[in-house]
Amino acid sequence: MKSSRYKQPKALECLALRSLGDWIAKQAELQMLPIASLAQQNPNKAQFTLSRSVENIRDHLDYNVPWMLHDQLALEAIRALSELCEKTKRSLGFRGSMGKFVSQMNVVVKMTEVLFTKNYKVVSIDTIPKMMRSVFYSKLQMLTGLVYLNLGSLSGGWKTSDMEGAIIQSLKELHSLKYLFINYDCTDRILKCIVDNCKNIRKLDVSCSKCVTNESIDIIVKLKYLKSIQLYHTFVTWEGFVKLLLNCKTLEDIGRCDEIGKVLEYIHFTDPKVGPFQLKIFVSRYATNNHLNLAIEMCPFIRNMTVFHNTLQSDLMALIGLQDLRELKLLSCDFYADQIKQVLQVKGCNIVYLHLEHVDQIDINALMYISQMCPLLETLTLYNCTLIQHTSLYTKKLEILPFRNLKKITCVSTFTDEQLLFLLTNCLNVEFIHFGTAVQLTDEFIFKLLDKNPLIYLKELRIMQSDFLSMLSVERIIQSCMSLQVLVELESWSMITESDREYIKNYIKINNYNVNTEPIRRYDV
CA-wise closest residue to 484 among 504, 458, 523: 458
User: DSSP for 214-241?
Assistant: HHHHHHHTT-TT--EEE-TTSB--HHHH
Tell how strand 327-334 and strand 304-308 pair up: parallel
* Same domain? 160 vs 218: yes
pLDDT at 200: 95
450-482 burial string, b = 16+ CB within 10 Å, else e? beebbbbbbbbbbbbbbeebbbebbebbbebbb
Q: Is residue 310 domain-resident?
A: no
* Same domain? 107 vs 164: no
Other Cβ atoms less than 10 A from the Cβ of 235: the count is 14
Q: Is residue 232 domain-resident?
A: yes
pLDDT at 308: 87
* Same domain? 126 vs 230: yes
Give 181's contacts (C-beta < 8 A, 6+ positions apart): 149, 150, 151, 152, 205
This prediction's pTM: 0.89
* Same domain? 86 vs 29: yes
Which of 193, 211, 236 marks a domain boundary? Answer: 236
* Same domain? 440 vs 487: yes
pLDDT at 524: 35
Tell how strand 148-150 and strand 228-230 pair up: unpaired
Q: Is residue 383 domain-resident?
A: no
pLDDT at 396: 67
- Note the Cα 2 to chain centre separation in Å: 27
Q: CA-CA distances (angstroms) from residue 268 to 237, 257, 295, 484?
A: 18, 17, 10, 52
Q: Is residue 452 domain-resident?
A: yes
What distance in Å separates the CA atoms of residue 333 and residue 369, rounded to the nearest whole number? 17
Residue 387: DSSP 8-state: B
pLDDT at 257: 92
Q: Is residue 504 domain-resident?
A: yes
Q: Is residue 66 domain-resident?
A: yes
* Same domain? 81 vs 132: no
* Same domain? 198 vs 136: yes
pLDDT at 523: 34
* Same domain? 64 vs 155: no
CA-wise closest residue to 180 among 170, 159, 194, 166: 194
* Same domain? 71 vs 106: yes
Which of 210, 236, 262 marks a domain boundary? Answer: 236
* Same domain? 173 vs 87: no
Range of the domain at 491: 431-525
Q: Is residue 99 domain-resident?
A: yes
From first to last of its 525 residues, the chain has per-residue pLDDT tens of 455 789 889 999 999 999 999 999 999 999 998 998 888 889 899 899 999 999 999 999 999 999 999 999 999 999 999 999 999 888 876 666 787 888 889 999 999 999 999 999 999 999 999 889 989 998 999 999 999 999 988 888 788 888 899 899 999 999 999 999 999 999 999 999 999 999 999 999 999 999 999 999 999 999 999 999 999 999 999 999 999 999 999 999 999 999 999 999 999 999 888 879 999 999 988 888 899 999 999 999 999 999 987 765 678 899 999 999 999 999 999 999 999 999 999 999 999 999 999 999 899 999 999 999 999 999 999 999 988 887 666 556 789 999 999 999 999 999 889 999 999 999 999 999 999 998 889 999 999 999 999 999 999 999 999 999 999 999 999 999 999 999 999 999 999 999 999 999 999 999 999 999 988 654 333
What CATH number does residue 128 fall under? 3.80.10.10
Q: Is residue 48 domain-resident?
A: yes
* Number of domains, the chain: 3
What distance in Å separates the CA atoms of residue 490 and residue 522, rounded to the nearest whole number? 15
What distance in Å separates the CA atoms of residue 290 and residue 282, rounded to the nearest whole number? 15
Which of 236, 254, 282 marks a domain boundary? Answer: 236
* Same domain? 104 vs 138: no
* Same domain? 109 vs 161: no
